[in-house]
Chains A and B, each alone.
Chain A
Amino acid sequence: MKKKPTIGIFKFTGCAGCQLELLHLEDVFINLLDIVDITYWVMVKRENTEGPWDISLVEGGISTPEEIEEIKEIRKKSKILVAFGDCAVNGCIPSIRNWIPQMEAEQCVYSDTSSIHSTKILGIGEYVKVDMVLKGCPPHRENIIEVIKSSLLNIRPRLRQHPVCMECKLKDNACLIISKNLPCMGPVTSAGCGAICPSLNRICEGCYGPMSNPNTSALADVFRKMGYSEEDIKRKFRKYAGMTPEFRKEAGD
């Protein structure tokens, strides 16, 4: 029998929500096990191998010197390395702290900071080459399946680069910016969620990070005209993807 492709699932600094999304594939989970061999997944398995892996799904950002060494080791042992979710892509919400002096952040939580040795939190791509990027906080289950399938077939995954606005149009949602004068991040945010929030009367907060080539300064101007302060605008861009080159200007120094 041909050996099944191996998968490793790794957690760095994050919330485990992306790994859980994988386990939430209840309908196909058992079928998935027929075609791949998950050989490393500490949250689910007690016996884990040391690799190598055909596909490595890495969740979480890198925020300690130890994690830098670990991600380099995993890279060496992986054929396809996937940044699994926003934390691994760019640090996500925890990256808001990158704008606070590290000592100040540590003293806010710990009375003795001598045993804490955190760095700024960054995506894994800052330290190693990444083969695929699975955006979202968390990524949509369909996109997870798409990445696994295309990895197995050795083809480019069909992941969306256009803005959430396109998905709103496909769903016939009234535009929240135009019809309700609300500060929606949809025009600069990568699609892939199916426009979950605007479909439920909530503005897009940007949890998939930037789309390909967004016009952030035009959207920031729209927010200014609505009456939002410079601080409010910074907060909006300094949330899920403040560290990305696309959002960095509006996220402020």
Chain B
Amino acid sequence: MTKKTLTVNYIARVEGRGALDVTISPSKEIEDLKLRIYEPPRFFEAFMIGRRCDEIMELASRICGICPVAHQITALRAIENALDVNPSDQTKDLRKLMAISAHIQSNVLSMYFLSLPDLMGYESSIAMTKNHSEIVKRGLRLKKLGNDITDLIGGRAVHPVTAVIGGFTAIPTKEKLSMIRERLVDAKKDAHETVDLFTKVEKPLFERKCEHIAISDSRHYAINEGRLRSTEGLNIHETEYRDYISEKQVPYSTALHSYVKTRDAFMVGPLPRLNLNIPQMSLDAKDAAKRSGIKIPNYNPFNSHLARAIELVHDIDESIEIIDRLPLKQEKREYQSKAGFGAAITEAPRGSLYHSYILDNNGIVKKADLVPPTSHNARNIEKDIYKLVEENSDLSVEELTLKCEMLIRAYDPCISCSTH
């Protein structure tokens, strides 16, 4: 046997620009393994300094075009924590509805358009339209639903505009929300079919136990607020994040690598959320999980797609619940600038997202600290690939390369986010 090298210069069907290099020796030892993220950094943490706190939601949004809502809400909550602003229950509900709609959009994009082609043997969803137009159309329909809800609450789907410190500049009308409610009810069928589709498609058999982290709340399925918990016993408040989680730079990646201090790399995303928070899911989502046969806790990252599908069922149920209890009353927004530190952690579609800011007396940002989900996952993806390659070193270079790519796509990395 000779030396084997796997090289992907520009990983397809993920957001942003990254590469993979693996070298396997003739004796099947892995000599080198790098997830090379070469996305050019934009230095958000540098140019946010000196900006007004009421602009930060707008700037943070531009970190990512796929999960702008997550960055907006995290930034707003961190700034509000610094200013001691407590938004109303209606604002919290509207923010959650908006965050869920972004989860629907992003998770459907990941499942149907970025990963499904691998699982069905196509190069892209575009190539699938000929023989599987019903499946592609279902994906488009579900994605559109998510987008339309973000659009209704936020004014537009990519970089929405209405969420501000303390609330919203405008709230949707009852009529428009009830139209969305009808569409959500109808979409349940599509969501269940999505669960069945991702139960049925063949996923690589693989398992690697590692620490799974997500925010968690005993009262509801945590998306915008909760304590950061893990399968290894981590249980911290968002202000304590930096006491427990650190980052280090590696020379081949513009994204920093995160790890739990004194421990190791970890995973964030839909599978950790399912592992930690399935008791808080809707009954229908729990039934869907049971029907799929997924074993919880689950440490096969390829099951992330199924976790997204199960979340989709829950997302629809919770959206309907929120719409039904929204009072839709006009509220006043007031706040005063003051110096302080504020931190927030939310669940972006790809996993836990951390923002913190230090403000001066005039509400001008003095320091910004941002850790997106894909920075959290970067090192863990490498460790998964290491095990996957070890276990499959007999496969041809082409087959093994595709398997590694599929694993990367299962994490649905958002590389622009990770570099920011």
- Cα distance A23–B124 when bound, in Å? 13
Question: Are B47 and A100 in contact, CB atoms less than 8 angstroms apart?
Answer: yes
Task: Give the residues in chain B near A6, CB-CB below 8 Å.
Answer: none
Residues of B in contact (CB 8 Å), total 62
Most B CB atoms within 10 A — which of A15, A96, A114, A193? A15
Q: Does A253 touch B at the CB level, under 8 Å?
A: no
- Cα distance A100–B48 when bound, in Å? 11
Question: Are A17 and B12 in contact, CB atoms less than 8 angstroms apart?
Answer: no
Task: Give the residues in chain A near B59, CB-CB below 8 Å.
Answer: 93, 96
**CB contact list, B155-184 vs A, under 8 A:** 155-159, 161-162, 164, 169-170
Residues of A in contact (CB 8 Å), total 64
Question: Are B158 and A17 in contact, CB atoms less than 8 angstroms apart?
Answer: yes
Return A127 CB to nearest CB of chain B, in Å. Answer: 15
Question: Are B16 and A11 in contact, CB atoms less than 8 angstroms apart?
Answer: yes
Return A38 CB to nearest CB of chain B, in Å. Answer: 6
Contact with A along B8-51 (1 / 0, CB 8 A): 00101111110000000000000000000001111111110101
Task: Give the residues in chain A near B123, CB-CB below 8 Å.
Answer: 45-47
Q: Does B188 touch A at the CB level, under 8 Å?
A: no
**CB contact list, B111-143 vs A, under 8 A:** 113-114, 117, 123-127, 129, 133, 136-137, 140-141, 143
Task: Give the residues in chain B near A137, CB-CB below 8 Å.
Answer: 62, 159
Question: Are B155 and A116 in contact, CB atoms less than 8 angstroms apart?
Answer: no
Task: Give the residues in chain B near A202, CB-CB below 8 Å.
Answer: 155, 161-162, 164, 169-170
Name the segment of B63-71, B209-217, B292-300, B318-326 touching the other chain: B63-71
Contact with B along A11-45 (1 / 0, CB 8 A): 11111111111011011011001000010011111
Q: Which residue of B lies closest to A37 (CB)?
A: B126
Q: Does A118 touch B at the CB level, under 8 Å?
A: yes
Question: Are A48 and B46 in contact, CB atoms less than 8 angstroms apart?
Answer: no
Task: Give the residues in chain A near B16, CB-CB below 8 Å.
Answer: 11, 16
Known A16-B416, A30-B137, A202-B164: A108·B15 in contact at CB below 8 Å = no
Q: Does A205 touch B at the CB level, under 8 Å?
A: yes
Question: Are B51 and A235 in contact, CB atoms less than 8 angstroms apart?
Answer: yes
Question: Are A115 and B126 in contact, CB atoms less than 8 angstroms apart?
Answer: no
Q: Does A97 touch B at the CB level, under 8 Å?
A: yes
Contact among A11, A105, A199 for B17, CB-based, below 8 A: A11
Contact with B along A81-123 (1 / 0, CB 8 A): 0000000000011101101100011101111101110100100
Question: Are B125 and A44 in contact, CB atoms less than 8 angstroms apart?
Answer: yes
Task: Give the residues in chain B near A21, CB-CB below 8 Å.
Answer: 65, 157-158
- Cα distance A21–B157 when bound, in Å? 8
Q: Does B360 touch A at the CB level, under 8 Å?
A: no
Q: Does A200 touch B at the CB level, under 8 Å?
A: yes
Question: Are A115 and B251 in contact, CB atoms less than 8 angstroms apart?
Answer: yes
Q: Which residue of B lies closest to A29 (CB)?
A: B140
Contact among B10, B42, B52 for A13, CB-based, below 8 A: B42
- Cα distance A12–B40 when bound, in Å? 8
Question: Are A42 and B12 in contact, CB atoms less than 8 angstroms apart?
Answer: yes
Return A57 CB to nearest CB of chain B, in Å. Answer: 14
Q: Does B275 touch A at the CB level, under 8 Å?
A: no
Question: Are B58 and A197 in contact, CB atoms less than 8 angstroms apart?
Answer: no
Task: Give the residues in chain B near A207, CB-CB below 8 Å.
Answer: 159
Task: Give the residues in chain A near B47, CB-CB below 8 Å.
Answer: 94, 96-97, 99-100, 105
- Cα distance A41–B114 when bound, in Å? 12
Return B95 CB to nearest CB of chain A, in Å. Answer: 16
Question: Are B65 and A138 in contact, CB atoms less than 8 angstroms apart?
Answer: yes
Known A17-B159, A111-B249, A112-B249: A30·B65 in contact at CB below 8 Å = no
Q: Does A174 touch B at the CB level, under 8 Å?
A: no
22 A–B pairs (Cβ distance < 8 Å), ordered by A: A15-B65, A16-B15, A17-B68, A18-B65, A23-B109, A23-B113, A24-B147, A24-B158, A30-B137, A44-B126, A46-B13, A93-B59, A100-B43, A105-B47, A108-B43, A108-B49, A112-B251, A199-B155, A200-B169, A202-B155, A235-B52, A235-B55
* Other A-B pairs, 15, CB within 8 Å; known A44-B125, A200-B162: A15-B62, A15-B63, A15-B68, A16-B416, A24-B144, A26-B143, A33-B129, A44-B114, A44-B124, A45-B124, A46-B405, A94-B62, A100-B46, A109-B43, A202-B162
Interface residues, chain B, CB within 8 Å of chain A? 10, 12-17, 39-47, 49, 51-52, 55, 58-59, 62-66, 68, 109, 113-114, 117, 123-127, 129, 133, 136-137, 140-141, 143-144, 147, 155-159, 161-162, 164, 169-170, 249, 251-252, 254, 405, 416
Interface residues, chain A, CB within 8 Å of chain B? 11-21, 23-24, 26-27, 29-30, 33, 38, 41-48, 63-64, 67, 92-94, 96-97, 99-100, 104-106, 108-112, 114-116, 118, 121, 137-138, 193, 196-197, 199-202, 205, 207, 232, 235, 239
